[in-house]
Amino acid sequence: MNYSKSLLPLLYLLTALISVSCSHKPNEEEVINYGDNPSAGQFIEVNGAKVYFECYGDKSNAPLLLIHGNGGSIKSMLHQIEYFKDDYYIITVDSRTFGKSSGMDSLNYNIMASDYMGIINKLVLEPVNVLGHSDGGIIGLLLAINYPEHISKLVAAVPNLVPGAPAIEDWELELSKGYRAFIDSMITINDQSRDWKVQKMHMELMRDEPHISLDDLSKIKCPVLLMTSDDDMIKPRHILEIYENIPNAQLFMMPGATHFMIRDEHELYNRMANRFLSSPFTRPTSKGVLMKMLGMDE
Predicted pLDDT at 8: 46
Predicted pLDDT at 30: 53
C-beta of residue 242 within 8 angstroms of C-beta of residue 94: no
- CA-to-CA distance for 24 and 175, rounded, in angstroms? 23
- Residue 150 DSSP label: G
Q: Is 268 exposed, middle or buried (0-12, 13-18, 19+ CB in 10 A)?
A: middle
Rounded (10°) CA dihedral 241, 258, 68, 177: 80
The residue ranges of every structural domain in the chain are: 5-293
C-beta of residue 89 within 8 angstroms of C-beta of residue 60: yes
Taking Cα atoms as reference points, which of 120, 141, 145 lies closest to residue 132? 141
How many CB atoms lie under 10 A from the CB of residue 137? Answer: 29
CATH class of 5-293: alpha beta
Distances (CA, A) of 242 to 16, 190, 245: 27, 42, 5
- Residue 168 DSSP label: B
Predicted pLDDT at 126: 79
- CA-to-CA distance for 127 and 63, rounded, in angstroms? 8
Q: Per-residue pLDDT for the chain (298 aa), expressed as one digit of tens each?
A: 443 344 444 444 454 444 444 544 445 455 799 999 999 999 999 999 999 999 999 999 999 999 999 999 999 999 999 999 999 999 999 999 999 999 988 899 999 999 999 999 999 987 999 999 999 999 999 999 999 999 999 999 999 999 999 999 999 999 999 999 999 999 999 999 999 999 999 999 999 999 999 999 999 999 999 999 999 999 999 999 999 999 999 999 999 999 999 999 999 999 999 999 999 999 999 999 999 999 998 7
- CA-to-CA distance for 294 and 264, rounded, in angstroms? 42
pLDDT tens sequence across 41-88: 999 999 999 999 999 999 999 999 999 999 999 999 999 999 999 999
Taking Cα atoms as reference points, which of 80, 73, 76, 72 lies closest to residue 56? 80
Q: What is the largest CA-CA distance in the chain?
A: 74
Taking Cα atoms as reference points, which of 243, 41, 48, 43 lies closest to residue 141? 243
Q: In what order do the strands lie in the sheet with 224-231?
A: 41-46, 49-56, 89-94, 63-67, 128-133, 151-157, 224-231, 249-258
pTM over 0.85: yes
With vertex at residue 60, the alpha carbon angle to CA 54 and CA 64, rounded to the nearest 5 degrees, is: 45
C-beta of residue 94 within 8 angstroms of C-beta of residue 73: yes
- Residue 282 DSSP label: -
Helix axes of 135-146 and 109-123: crossing angle, nearest 10 degrees: 70
SS3 helix, strand, coil % of the chain, rounded to 5? 40, 20, 40
Predicted pLDDT at 270: 98
